[in-house]
Amino acid sequence: MSKETDFLVIGSGIAGLMYALKVAKFGKVCLVTKSKIDDTNTNYAQGGIATVTYKPDSKKKHIEDTLKAGDGLCNKDVVEMVVSEGREMVEKLIEYGTKFDTKPDGDFDLAKEGGHSENRILHYKDKTGFEIQRALVEKIKSCPNIEILENHFAIDLLTQHQMGYAVIREKTKIECYGAYVLNNKTNEIDTILSKITYIATGGIGNIYHTTTNPEIATGDGIAMVYRAKGIIENMEFVQFHPTALYNLKERPSFLITEAIRGFGAKLLTFDGKCFMQKYDVRKELASRDIVARAIDNEMKISGSEYVYLDCTNISKEDLEGHFPNIYKKCLETGIDITKDYIPVVPAAHYLCGGIKVNKKGRTSIKNLYAGGEVAATGLHGANRLASNSLLEAVVYANISAKISAKKIGKIKINNEIPNWNDEGTNDLEEMILITQEFKELQQIMSNYVGIVRSNLRLKRAMSRLEILNRETEKQYNKSKVSFKICRLRNAINVAYLIIEMAAKRKESRGLHYNIDYPEKGKLI
Ligand code: FAD
Ligand code: SIN
């Protein structure tokens, strides 16, 4: 089946929803999402959204904190722009129905997280993402101009490649005309032709074994753009959240928000000793790269599988009032956080790199924009400052929507794109192999491309990945397309980009730490 739209939005997290709401005034929107509409990283966000509200905070301080966390790789113009436009977009979220906690005097109740010099995180208890997702989904469902297609998996972008241009010359400007989308329920592949495409497919956490991200986060958008020959950058900067609840049976790992450390919780070794003072003067509130590496080091020293987070110095009233979700979850697993220490481990959490976009959110491919976690805007550099992600997503969705609205009138649908052709392919014989290969990939990434890297580990990861890639491509070319094989293929592409870019960076900076180059080098 083939359908036409003005705007194709891929992804239903904060970035996709905000962009769709903003462009709906200017044309027909088709929003596809590979699972349920609220199956997103956004839905899991706990801590909140960073923005400057009251003195003594200032934009200058937020900018400085972001630059410091980014360890020399942030784009200063972008940082200034996002911080400056953040407040207006937070107001927009409120206008669209999002609630943030306030104090009895009516002011926002502002939390603090690692790397922030002031309390500046607006939040809704410890379920901010859930609240944002709820409000935006409600709003979007009331928009007649937006068609929502759940359980629709975008497989590949439509570009000149699909028009039979077997060889695209190096200088050809690649253009995007929409996407091939697999209907997970019927297994049919739709050709969605669109004037403008917005990729908002989120992060990559699931290419690692231990992650805070739900299953949808497999880097599909990055893989699609990479295959379409778009520019991808900074993939080596994978952020591990320091404190996920240690529970071998649970995927995704349940997050224990950094805001709880902002409230005074302490990290302790397996045998109950404070250790963060050895690593940074800011102790528990150092930036995430430092805290995650410190925990990793302490686990290696003691041989333990976790460290502890001690919240017992925080009153029961505060824990239950500010962190009800965490309190309840821990209690369900037998931990009373008012009395017991919480066992925690670092877990893959966020990708700082991704599809390179300019200050308008434009990718290197014509008529293709990207926003949210999938995009590399230059805001985060080598390490994202906590709670800057939701902020970046809304600011860029707004900017991209404005420019898209200006351009849409001049773009035509490309009717030369053929429908998907799967002649000569058969049903996959052993789907179990795909599942096993996906698990193998997660092991490769967790074992060799984690918080601490080395040349040997990266080399080993690449040689294991090459075998997986060969086998998967062979299967992909001869079998009918299925959601699982597409997901595996995307995850392999993303893993390749991470390993390749990590191997190229001959220094340690921000989230990328290589024991063979422990020092910071010249910027590359
Ligand atoms: P997502 O919200 O992940 O949405 C991606 C969408 O794309 C989903 O709808 C998915 O189904 C869809 N999709 C993916 N691939 C395809 C495909 N092939 N076809 C169709 N659809 C596809 N950030 C903060 O700023 N503050 C926080 O407090 C915070 N807490 C966090 C806590 C947790 C546990 C996690 C996991 C993340 C947290 N983050 C936080 C990070 C932040 O939540 C994410 O970076 C942000 O929500 C990403 O939004 P997004 O719209 O880019 O992607
Ligand atoms: C957290 O609440 O600790 C997560 C915040 C973030 O990832 O920005």
Domain end (from 306, 322, 348):
348
3-state DSSP call for residue 142? coil
Distance CA 194, CA 411 (A): 9
What CATH number is given to the structural domain containing 256? 3.90.700.10
Distance CA 107, CA 119 (A): 13
Look at the alpha carbons of 17, 204, 162, 360 in this order and tell me if their dihedral is positive or negative.
positive
* Tokens encoding 426: 């058969």
Q: Whose CA is nearest to atom 40 of ligand 1?
A: 45
**Other beta carbons less than 10 A from residue 119's beta carbon:** 17
Average pLDDT of the segment spanning 11-29:
98
What CATH number is given to the structural domain containing 18? 3.50.50.60
Same domain (yes/no): 387, 323: no
Same domain (yes/no): 155, 224: yes
Residue 309 maps to a domain: yes
Domain end (from 324, 348, 372):
348
Residue 325 maps to a domain: yes
Strand partners, 240: 348
Same domain (yes/no): 55, 162: yes
Instruction: Count structural domains, the chain.
Output: 3
Cα 282 to ligand 2 centroid, rounded to whole Å: 17
Average pLDDT of the segment spanning 407-430:
90
Same domain (yes/no): 267, 284: yes
Domain end (from 348, 366, 382):
348
| pLDDT tens-digit map of 270-326 | 999 999 999 999 999 998 999 999 999 999 999 999 999 999 999 999 999 999 999
Could you give the count of Cα atoms lying within 13 Å of 64 in the half-sphere of its Cβ?
8
Give residue 125's region: left, alpha or beta (phi > 0; psi -120 to 50). left
pLDDT higher than 80, residue 199? yes
3-state DSSP call for residue 378? coil
Q: What is the pLDDT of residue 360?
A: 98
Is any ligand 2 atom within 6 A of the Cβ of residue 386? yes
Site of tokens 């990729």: 199
Q: How far is CA 414 from CA 17, 147, 251, 346, in A?
A: 25, 20, 42, 46
More confident residue, 164 or 382: 382
Ligand with an atom nearest the CA of residue 371: 1
Q: Which amino acid is at 8?
A: L
Same domain (yes/no): 94, 188: yes
Site of tokens 């996709």: 16
pLDDT band at 166 (very low <50, low <70, confident <90, very high): low
Answer yes or no: are the C-beta atoms of 502 and 465 closer than 8 Å.
no
| Residue 495 backbone dihedrals phi, psi, to 5 degrees | -60, -40
Site of tokens 């379409």: 228
Question: How big is the chain by its Cα radius of gyration, in Å?
Answer: 22
Same domain (yes/no): 75, 164: yes
Q: What is the pLDDT of residue 431?
A: 81
Answer yes or no: are the C-beta atoms of 100 and 94 closer than 8 Å.
yes
pLDDT band at 164 (very low <50, low <70, confident <90, very high): confident
Is any ligand 1 atom within 6 A of the Cβ of residue 32? yes
Is any ligand 1 atom within 6 A of the Cβ of residue 11? yes
Is any ligand 1 atom within 6 A of the Cβ of residue 252? no
Same domain (yes/no): 6, 62: yes
Residue 420 maps to a domain: no
Cα 192 to ligand 2 centroid, rounded to whole Å: 35
Q: Whose CA is nearest to atom 33 of ligand 1?
A: 45
Q: Report which secondary-structure segment, H or E, holds 136.
A: helix 128-141
Q: What is the pLDDT of residue 523?
A: 60
Same domain (yes/no): 358, 444: no
| pLDDT tens-digit map of 49-58 | 999 999 999 9
Residue 6 maps to a domain: yes
Average pLDDT of the segment spanning 175-199:
97
pLDDT higher than 70, residue 188? yes
pLDDT band at 427 (very low <50, low <70, confident <90, very high): confident
Average pLDDT of the segment spanning 9-36:
98
Q: What is the dihedral of CA 253, 34, 450, 305, to 10 degrees?
A: 20
**Mean pLDDT score across all residues of the chain:** 96
Answer yes or no: are the C-beta atoms of 473 and 485 closer than 8 Å.
no
| pLDDT tens-digit map of 472-493 | 999 999 889 999 999 999 999 9
Q: What is the pLDDT of residue 510?
A: 97
| pLDDT tens-digit map of 507-524 | 999 999 999 999 998 665
Locate the ligand 2 atom nearest the alpha carbon of residue 349 and give its number: 7
Q: Which amino acid is at 141?
A: K
Same domain (yes/no): 8, 129: yes
User: In the chain, what is the greatest distance between 2 CA atoms, to the nearest angstrom?
Assistant: 68
Cα 408 to ligand 2 centroid, rounded to whole Å: 35
Cα 385 to ligand 2 centroid, rounded to whole Å: 9
Cα 202 to ligand 1 centroid, rounded to whole Å: 5
Residue 422 maps to a domain: no
Mutate which of 30, 36, 40, 388 for ligand 1 pocket (most atoms within 8 A of beta carbon): 40
Domain residues for the domain of 510 are 431-480+482-514
Q: Which residues are known catalytic residues?
A: 288
| pLDDT tens-digit map of 449-476 | 999 999 999 999 999 999 999 999 999 9
Note the Cα 352 to chain centre separation in Å: 8
* Tokens encoding 462: 């690449």
Residue 181 maps to a domain: yes
Cα 48 to ligand 2 centroid, rounded to whole Å: 7
Answer yes or no: are the C-beta atoms of 48 and 102 closer than 8 Å.
no
What CATH number is given to the structural domain containing 508? 1.20.58.100
Residue 520 maps to a domain: no
Same domain (yes/no): 58, 141: yes
Same domain (yes/no): 404, 461: no
Q: What is the dihedral of CA 226, 11, 49, 123, to 10 degrees?
A: -150
pLDDT higher than 70, residue 134? yes
Residue 467 maps to a domain: yes
Global pTM exceeds 0.85: yes
Q: What is the pLDDT of residue 522?
A: 67
Ligand with an atom nearest the CA of residue 323: 2
* Tokens encoding 145: 């101009």
Locate the ligand 1 atom nearest the alpha carbon of residue 152 and give its number: 20
Distance CA 234, CA 352 (A): 7
Q: How far is CA 446 from CA 62, 217, 524, in A?
A: 32, 16, 26
DSSP 3-state percent helix, strand, coil across the chain (nearest 5): 40, 20, 40
Crossing angle of the two packed helices 389-407 and 128-141, in degrees rounded to 10: 20
Same domain (yes/no): 6, 73: yes
Locate the ligand 2 atom nearest the alpha carbon of residue 128 and give its number: 2
Ligand with an atom nearest the CA of residue 116: 2
pLDDT band at 168 (very low <50, low <70, confident <90, very high): low
Average pLDDT of the segment spanning 186-194:
96
* Tokens encoding 100: 């943030």
